[in-house]
Amino acid sequence: MTQFSPTATSINNINEAVIIREVDVNSNGVVTLTLNLPKEFNALSVELLSAMQSELDDIAQDSSVQVVVIAANGKAFCAGHNLKEMRANPDETFQRDLFQKCSQMMLTINRMPQVVIAKVQGVATAAGCQLVAACDLAVASDNAKFATSGINVGLFCSTPAVAVSRNLPRKQAFEMLITGEFIDAHTALDQGLINRVTSIEQLDSTLQSLISAIISKSSVAIRTGKAMFYKQLNMELADAYEYAAEVMTCNMMAADVSEGIDAFFEKRPALWRGY
């Protein structure tokens, strides 16, 4: 079983911290951020969004980290925004700031150089479903469910729609958004919202298998590839190829590529240098 070590910032008040940050002591370069408001179904309150943003900003600057896992304590992965907090602050300024704060956090996941994986052990609704969609990869237990349920309270999930519509085919995404109905984990897998489904008992080992496949690769290739992948998505085809060719040319100049090619021909494991 994977062993984790809480960081100094979380160890003193680990039960009260809204985000628990843990370093995997068995796998270099893996950090887990656990949503820790189980009684509130890990709803994205202003406090939780701010804490997550701070952690992600810090990790993004840490070149020793290759993979970030976003997990959750309790029955739910994330129930979206905190509706009680939103109703208690009905003014337009609060609402705009809240959605901008959430959007910035989602963008940070997209822009940071590390691979971010959602580990979904329960329900993910509205902005919680958005969080899953915003992650680069997602692994879920077979009892997990997903919905963009704002429509049920008169609020179309507009910001979740941005991430969800970039994961699912158009009609499937719009059906989720316009009906608010749940889809199960296997449907989410078939439609492209998540990558792997397993039993809750095998969730950790399935996640570890995916992590191992990533951290065995060159960190230079990972950083280069993630940035390139997202940037080219919105380009015209010819522009995407021109950009990709330039990225690949620069990537070829990295010491890791020379090492990787030599190791391939010499039939030995590569000794990645990270540059």
- Strand residue runs (E) in the chain: 4-6, 19-24, 30-35, 67-72, 76-78, 115-120, 123-125, 137-141, 145-147, 183-184, 196-198
Chunked mean pLDDT (size 10), the chain, 275 residues: 44 71 84 97 97 98 96 97 95 96 97 98 98 98 97 96 97 98 98 98 97 95 97 96 97 96 96 93
**What is residue 27's predicted lDDT score, i.e. its pLDDT?**
66
Are the C-beta atoms of residues 3 and 26 closer than 8 Å to each other? Answer: yes
**What is residue 8's predicted lDDT score, i.e. its pLDDT?**
35
**What is residue 275's predicted lDDT score, i.e. its pLDDT?**
93
Domain ranges of the chain: 4-215, 219-265
Sequence-distant (6+) residues with CB within 8 A of 139 are 117, 118, 119, 120, 194, 195, 196, 197, 198, 203, 206, 207, 210
The fold of the 219-265 domain, in CATH, is: Lyase 2-enoyl-coa Hydratase; Chain  A, domain 2 (1.10.12)
1.10.3720.10, 3.30.420.40, 1.10.287.70, 3.90.226.10: CATH of 4-215: 3.90.226.10
- For the segment 238-263, what is each residue's pLDDT rounded down to a tens digit? 999 999 999 999 999 999 999 999 99
Strand order through the sheet with 4-6:
4-6, 19-24, 30-35, 67-72, 115-120, 137-141, 196-198
**What is residue 2's predicted lDDT score, i.e. its pLDDT?**
46
The two beta strands, 183-184 and 145-147, are: antiparallel
Q: How far is CA 124 from the centre of its chain?
A: 13
What is the percentage of the chain residues whose pLDDT exceeds 70? 94
- For the segment 87-97, what is each residue's pLDDT rounded down to a tens digit? 999 999 999 99
**What is residue 6's predicted lDDT score, i.e. its pLDDT?**
53
